[in-house]
Structures are given as C-alpha cells and as structure tokens.
Structure 1
C-alpha cells in the first residue's frame, strides 16, 4: 500500500490490525504484517520491492512457493475502473500477458472491488483496482484455501490486503471422467471387455440399485474453488455455507419454476390435426440397430460428460463391446420403460459470466446430460426432423 504514514507508526497499525509482527522495507513505504506463527526474513530490499522468506512454524518448514502482491498501478480489465479517462486494451494487455507468462493467478477477493481512490468527488472521482495478490499453483496446493480481503483504507489512498491461509476446506468426491488418452493404451479394450461384460445390461435394468460399475473405475478426491460469499437480492452479503447453499437453491428454483395457474388447452381445438396415423407410427416405431449406431457416431466424441463420466469417445471406441446394450436400452425407452436416475441425472454446472462473482446472476447454469440420454434425444430429433417441414408453415 502507498502509505501517507511515517514508518514509526507501523506498530500502531500492527496493533490495530491485531497482528503479531510488522515488517517495513528500506524506505518505510512497504509494510507487511504477519501473525505469530510465521517468522519473517528479508532477503532483498529496495525502495519499490521487497522479497521475504517466510518460515511457517505450524508446518515446521519454509514457504518455498510464490506469492506476489502490492500496488501494480494497472488494472486487468475495464470493469476494474470507474471514472477518469476510459481504458483501452493496450492499457492492460502487457500486464495481463506478463502475469499469464509467469503462471500466476488470483483466487478472488472479499469486500470492495476497488483498492484505490483519488480522494476526489463528483465528476473528478476515480476508483481503480490497482492492488492485488497473485499466487502460483504450488502455493494453492499447499494451503488449499486462500482468501484475500480488501480492508478499509486507513492512512493511505490504497486499501491494505488481508490474506488468510490454510483454513479447512470442504472435500468433494471427484466424479469419474473418461480420459481420451486411455484408448491409446494397448490393453484398453481388454480391460473394458470383462468389466462391461460382468455388469452388462444390469446397469440399466437394475437402474439406481447398481452404480458399482462407475464407482469402481476411479476413486479420487480433489479440492475445488468455491464461491465463498454472494450478494443476495436485498443487497446483503452472505458467507455462511448453509446460507449460501439455501440461497443458491432458492434462486435457481425461482428461475426455472413455473408459476401456479390453470392451463387452458381450449385453443388447441382450433388447430387442425396434421399428424397422420402413418406419421405417428413412424415416430413411435422401435428404432433399428443401424439407426441407433448412426446416431451414436453422429454425436460429438468430445462433448461434455454427464454424471456417469462416459464421453462419446468411449462409446465410439468400444462400440463392438457396448453397442448391443445401448441399442437394447433405447428400445426399452420406446417400449415405455421408465428410465432410472442413473441415466436421467444431469450435472448442473454454473459458468462464470464475469471474472468476479457478486450475485447469482453472474453465473450461467448449463445442464450436462449422460451420453446415453443424448442418444435417445437424438433418435427422437432425427425422426422429428423428417416430418417437421410438412407440419410447420413457411410463414
């Protein structure tokens, strides 16, 4: 932070921030505060930059990773500035390229999105995010949870940053994902054949009672980046995990729920019947083995996986092994059998609309279906595609 304070005031700010140690660079313009379980040694000290060596007492080891932070005097995009001369990409592209080249990244932040204010009001007021903290991947792997908070500006026109490390993070079971390079292994098909033959059609006919086939393939864990705080409709920020879970469910239920009301189908009597019995028979006919195979190979190999983790690549590469079971499953659907949840379940994925998530409106939900579910939909689509031109007016 760019200080308007003499270095002799550092101890006062240390107490105000409830920190154990305070360190300043050679000209007293860069201040660094740490808690009591961290030992600090200055390795390189200049008027503009300081390099520190940290010893973590709790882990009994030195921090041999990269953390870079401070006033970079540049923003990363147009959203990080309000007021003043408008930005153009040339103003920040070099900085963004440098950060990417160094394999550094951020983990988001709490509080105000701007860290610097020019101290003026009205049309002359400018807010920018000039200060930030970057980490490398090793840093995150070590600590798991990293939280950066922009504190209130005190004694400076820049906001100090508080970094919290190593708090407990929720562990998720890693879902199974079929990896494309597996098909290149010389024993790939020899491994699939006995495992698929052992389970065979039971994964569909037994439905939700049989998930062992998928869970036995991969058993791993991973840590995911999470949304740690969100702003709800009344402007309040919430951070409690249970509240966050309840709010996200409530938000998207409202987005995708239909308001109660009586539906009036009376207008349908004014629409002429266009679907003949012959067309209906075509739509409802049991699909042939060739029709199902053609649909499977028309679908993209690399399309996103659903909950079962099996991509088009798997079904294309293993068709001689799994093809008959897929065909029988599609036929069962056309014969009126209820599809089990192991087939109909989808993954709801929230994609970012913006680089920083403030509200649930900054997230775009997409649904990822199992490949088998896509096959059924594609068979229906292929049949409808043939008859719709005769049913839909050109006007």
Structure 2
C-alpha cells in the first residue's frame, strides 16, 4: 500500500519523488488509527530515513456518561429516573440540580447495564434464536412453533430498531427519518466524525508543530486562558453619549426579570432533540422527555444563572479527555444568547461615529446624483467602509475607528482587512491609502457574507467556491451506501440548501446552475469518480412535484427565479437603503414598472427586471392614503392602467390621491382620461383604514409574499396525462442490512 507520509514529501535531497512503499502491517486497525510513515531528518546522507509505524494511534481515556435517546422507550426508565431524581440533596438550587443530574446519570448507567444490556449482544442472541426456531419450523411446522418463531422475529425487529436509533444518534444526521436502517452508511458517518475530531498535531504561532494529546492540551490551555483573561485596559465610554437614549427604566428591568415556567418550558422544547449532548452527556431528548420530573428543580436554579456570566470556568476536551480547569474573566462571549445584542449596540455606535464624518468636511464615496450617500455597510462584525481617496478623509475615518476600538474593546484585524480602489487608480494614491490605513490592497472579486462581490462581467469562476462546497459535502457522504430514496432525501433536505443563501443575493449563471444539477444527478444515480452510471431519466424530468411525475426535487433555475421575485417584491414594497439607491440611480424620472434595462447596468437591476412582468401580475395594492402611482401601480387588481392606455401621457408623479376628494372619487376628473366603464369599476374599490397603502401577494391566501408561492406561479408546471398516482408518490421500502 502507499503509506501516508508525515514530514518532508521527498526521500532524497533532490526533487525526486518519494521512493518508499510498505505492506499494510496494521490492516486490522481502523483507517483513522493507522500510523503510516514518518520522514525523519537527514544525518550525513541525501536520503531521509523512513519510520514505518505499525502500532495503533488509539489512546485510551476515561469514558464519560452519554445519554441514549432509546432509553426513554425502555420499560422501567421513568421509575429509575424518578427514584434517582427524588433522592434527598442539600445546598443551593444550583448545587442541588448538579447533584441530582450527577446521581441520575450514575443510576441510569447502572440500570442500563442491568436491565437494557448490550444492545448489540442482544441482537446477535435474538438472531441466533430466530435462526434456531426457523430450523425447528422447517422440521415441525406446528402452530406453537410458528407462534414462537413469529414472536422471536418481532423481538428481533425491535432490537434492530434499537440499533438503528443508537447509530442514528451517534451519526448525528438530523435529516434522517426512515429508509436506511443500520446500514454501513451509519458506521461510515460515525467513523468519519471520530476521525475528524482527533487532533494529532497543531501549529503554534512560531510555525512549530506540537504532537501528542498532553502537549496539545497544555498549549490549548495556555492559549484559551490568555484569550479569556480580563482586559484591564481603560475604556473610554464617554463617546456613548452620541447614542440616543431610547430605553426607559421599565424597559431596563425586563432583562433582569426571571423567566416564568411557561417561558422556560418553551425554551427547553425548542431545543433540537437530536442535537449533540452537552458536557454532562445529556441531550435535548432527556430534558424534554423528563420535563415533568425535573422542571421544578430546573426552574429553582435559574436565578443562579447570572453568576455564570461573570464567573465561568473551563476545561479543554482533547481527543476525548478533559484537561485543565481555568477561569474566564471576559463575561459574555460570542455565541452567548446576549452577544447579538452587543453586536447591535456596537454597530449602532459605529454608525453614529461614521455619521459624524459627514459634518466634518469628510469627502464621501462618489455616487450618482440623487442617490443616498453612505459611509459603511455592517453585519455583526463584518464591515465595509466607503470613502474617497482624499488623505484627510481617510485619516478622519481611521480616527473614528480608533475611538470605536477604545470604547468597544473590538480591535481591527489589519491582517484580514484590505482596501480596494477603482481600476487605473494612480500608484501614489494607492500608496497613500496603504500608508494611512495600514491595510493591504486587494482586487475584485472578494467575498463578503459568503457571496462574491465583483466588478464588471459575471464570470463562472466567481462561483467555484460554491461548487467546491457542494463537491466536498458529497465526497464525505459515501453515496453508494445510501438507498435511492435516501439520496433523494439528502438532495432535497441538505444539498439544495447549500446554494440558497447565494441564490437569495445573486442570480447564478446558467453554467453554474447546470454544474450544480449535474452534481445532484451524479449523486442520485450513485455515480462515483471513475465509475459512471447510466441516468435512466433526464434530471429535468425528475425536478417536478410527485403529482407531476417527479420526485419532489426543485430545479435550481426555478429557485433562482423565485428568489429574484423576492428581490423585486422587496424593491417595490419596502423603504430600504438599497431600494432607494437603485430607484434613484436607474429610475430618477421613469417608474420602475416601465423602465427598460440598458446594457452596462448592474446585475441586480437586470435580475429583477427579468421577473418584473411576471411578478406585477400578482402584486396588488390596497388603497389607504392614496399614495399609489395612478398609472403604474396595480391598485385596480387587473394590472396597471398605463398598459391599457399607451398613448396617454402617464406621469410617474401622478398619484391616486390626485383623483380623490376626501374619501370619495372625483368622477369628473377620472372621466377626462378614462372611459365610463373603467370609472365605474374604480368607484367600486374599497378604501381601507391604516397608515399607508399596503401590498397584497395574490398567490398567498394571507397576502404575504413567500418563496414557496412564487415558485409555484413562476415555474413551468407539467400536466399529467393519466389521473392515477405515479410510482414516486408512495413510500418505498428502505434498506435494513
């Protein structure tokens, strides 16, 4: 076999290829436990010595308690839990809850060993019993023998389902429901997860490597202890005075109020039952199934939670063993439930500081006349700043960032930060920007919030990262181990969700969508690298609902169009910065409904114009304040009036309010430009009460826009020639062995 090398990739001093091979001396080991070959240093020779390791890398460590969800279905579970939980304890509510959990885990472990037993040994014993009874039935097929065989076979099925539940929990596949019970796929997923969790070596800041669990643990403890230590530097909070005071005393007391039992129950039952267990080994299933028993003790210790925010202690889990026990002085961390609020406050402070630049002779980023000006875009701690190349403006911006750092404690990572300039920018200006900011220069495209930001033509290579992401996910799945139905579920539940974020922002080129669907098709037909499989049905014929002869997978192009409709809906109905910017840039005089696309305009504008005519048919405005465009908004319900009168002067500024007197229609004014039958139709329209005109999306029963409803009306459906259900509609039997 070809051994996996560690160290230098060559065995000679020149650039020749490696020249070492060896037998699979440790073939009995699991793949993640094989050592392979290590290249040692050269001493007095131009060859690197090769050290072949044939011993297992598996290290024994203490095994911790892990709650198995299948226990909740076993007889005697509730009685064991109640007896363990109700044992007397003393101390604070937090300490009592800790002792009860600890005692319960110990008693459940004992109960599992004595009552449940080893589920795998039980299955093997039952298989042998079924085989023996089957032999008996072959020789004497009496009623009593058949009954004994059927009872044993039913018990075997029950034990098999226990194994399935065990491997499902271990594999952690939230998408799984039914159909692939106890197959090799479960074991492969679990082994791959174990292999990924093993740390063999890490690189320090000085680019040296550390090997061994103990040495890695020491370095990890030093790193995180330093990372979580309290920052004693002085913070200047006077700048917070620029934030408006919008919180009164009553609002301020709400976060301090203890949650009610109802709120606590909602939080517990919102947990994913299949989520990974915490450090105590207990899953969401435990807290939900045992709620009636543990709820009071859990509620009593909630008032101690605030102490955890200021007094956290940590241990590091390295390769299954816990190391160290150190304190954190940082308080709330990223990932805590309250941390998003801190990001919002920080973003608000940064916004106020950037707004101050406008009044300080700051030269902003150049935009078209009439477009709203802006200095930054921010999402959490990912921020894009916009400025001219004026040195004084750049220094003013960097000063504001310095003030923000001193107040918030957030520091700018200059190694990850960069700046971009327009093409043909003079080198001297580029040098000044680099000198003032301390950032390195980058070029288009760059990635922001998971999407490529590019300048000029849309190129397929900009989306190679998305293709690689899908390919990487497929490579770790071992599609040949999953049934056909299981692969269809994976495509619908997991694979199709990977490009959704990018589809909601960018209209992908057809070449990219074709590549994605080709990957889906190859996976569905169980095609692996080097082994092509025949595709019995074209992929486009599978991308239909089951009642139309498909398998329920949505076409990527249809999803693309659905998200384009969502962008158009947002553009037409919401008062946002990007909407005002696009309208000022492309529709300064014409209404967006009749504006034509011109070559050279942005891809986003081209995208929404592509679905404009289809969307406007389903977008109806309900009149409240008569602010709708008289000619171009669909407030009549039959389309905009402008399309019916192409030769009439149709001003964008003409509103419905211009034809109203109070809450009644001005019939004389309407008759000057419209025929009598249409005026009568207009006079029958209801005037609603409210603050402003509001839109209705007619495909949805509640009038709200949804991607699902837009997908239904925008896609090209298929009529079935036969009324009977298709073979895809019913449930298919799954694989069990």
**What TM-score results when the alignment is normalised by the length of structure 1?**
0.46
Larger Rg: 2
Higher relative contact order (CA 8 A, sep 6+): 1
**What TM-score results when the alignment is normalised by the length of structure 2?**
0.27
